[in-house]
Structure 1
């Protein structure tokens, strides 16, 4: 009994230590505090690409090298002059000239080969509308004449034209007639005969490369 008396406290102590160890192992570890994001890791919201309602494709997102040359002010509605000069490369070839009606505006789309967009000079002009090669006047319907001049550009390859239909009457709410008045020495000019000189805006779109001119209804 004395031997048992001596060992009983030791066994009890061992039992207590074992129980304490069990409780310590069962307790879940405390998670480390969450790291705060640094200012350099913060990302700006994605503005998304610009959609071309004419062709259902997208342009290069803002901030890319291809989009940096465009002046955002040109996308604002205006009745004044829009002028963007570009040079130092061979004339780009105009492949298509399309028109379409949209909600609140009529649209002209000029589509070019390659990735380079030519410069452009756009403004309302007075009559008579002149053809650049001959210097002869030409009649264009409407009460306002929006001239769209792009350069360096061409609408031909050798002796073959790339845009065959150069005089059109699309029968749109504002755009009554469309005529190419120049395809000469690196310059292509279209004149938009509109119902009246409404405000317009200009957009540069890519994939494929296009210049878009919208005229308000």
Structure 2
């Protein structure tokens, strides 16, 4: 204790002050927050799938035709030429005349003729050398079916006769014929008999005898070059 009475008060005040300061210092010390947990990296959002084109795609280049006694051709092997779409301008069914004129080139050679049955129609395929398709004139004709060179009538079975003429074209290569079987009976639902009635001066004609003169359609195919005629059952 201080002997001087007047100094008691400052001493007590100092003690009180120290006590208060300690309290304030103690209260002023905040509790540190817990460390934040590291957030997981955001997963990248995959891009939306590319939009698919609308409408129908190209038609596969297959004529589904077979030669008499032959097996159907195999599918296009890898590395071969890409299939071409059917020509879109001639897909309508008709029972009237269909004609496309082409000229200014040498007659193209017909190499193969084949027929096949399909769902709802029979198919005739005329195949040519090269990339150029000849013009064509297709229509139903009345009997008698005549041969172009002599004009002589030819008997072709059926109740209707669809005449398919292509030009400039030929079914021979020099003296050698390229289509040996010139009259045949396909034995199909609508095709009864067919005959090559003309191979003369750049014109080739097939007379197609059918059970009924039903509607037909024409298509142009490439790789190889073909003219396709379908007749409804």
TM-score over 0.5 for the pair: yes
Q: Per-residue displacement from partner, 1:43-65 (whole Å, max 9, x unpaired)?
A: 66561333432266685237xxx
Whether the 8 Å CA contact 2:138–2:163 is kept in 1: the answer is yes
Deviating above 2 A after TM superposition, structure 1's stretches of 4 or more consecutive aligned residues are 25-29, 41-46, 48-59
Match for residue 52 of structure 1 among 32, 39, 63? 63
Deviation at 1:86, TM superposition (A): 1.1
Whole-Å separation in 2 of the counterparts to 1:175 and 1:43: 39
Structure-2 change in CA distance of 1:142 and 1:90 (3 Å): same
Provide the TM-score with structure 2 as the length reference.
0.69
Structure-2 change in CA distance of 1:114 and 1:191 (3 Å): same
Structure-2 change in CA distance of 1:208 and 1:128 (3 Å): same
Whole-Å separation in 1 of the counterparts to 2:124 and 2:198: 17
Q: Per-residue displacement from partner, 1:108-164 (whole Å, max 9, x unpaired)?
A: 111111111111110000111111111111111111000000011100011110001
When Rg is computed on C-alpha atoms for both structures, the one with the higher figure is 2
Match for residue 175 of structure 1 among 162, 185, 191? 191
SS at match of 1:201: strand
- Structure 2 equivalent of residue 186 of structure 1: 202
User: Unaligned 5+ residue runs, structure 2?
Assistant: 1-34, 66-71, 77-82
Whole-Å separation in 2 of the counterparts to 1:190 and 1:152: 14
Structure-2 change in CA distance of 1:107 and 1:43 (3 Å): closer
Tell me whether 1:114 sits opposite 2:127 in the alignment: no
Whole-Å separation in 2 of the counterparts to 1:103 and 1:26: 64
Whether the 8 Å CA contact 2:63–2:125 is kept in 1: the answer is no
Structure-2 change in CA distance of 1:42 and 1:142 (3 Å): closer
Match for residue 90 of structure 1 among 90, 99, 106? 106
Q: Per-residue displacement from partner, 1:27-83 (whole Å, max 9, x unpaired)?
A: 969x9xx9xx9xxx9966561333432266685237xxxx5xx62xx2121111111
Matched pairs, number: 195
Whole-Å separation in 1 of the counterparts to 2:139 and 2:206: 11
Whole-Å separation in 2 of the counterparts to 1:200 and 1:111: 18
Structure-2 change in CA distance of 1:177 and 1:46 (3 Å): closer
User: Unaligned 5+ residue runs, structure 1?
Assistant: 1-18
Whole-Å separation in 2 of the counterparts to 1:53 and 1:76: 19
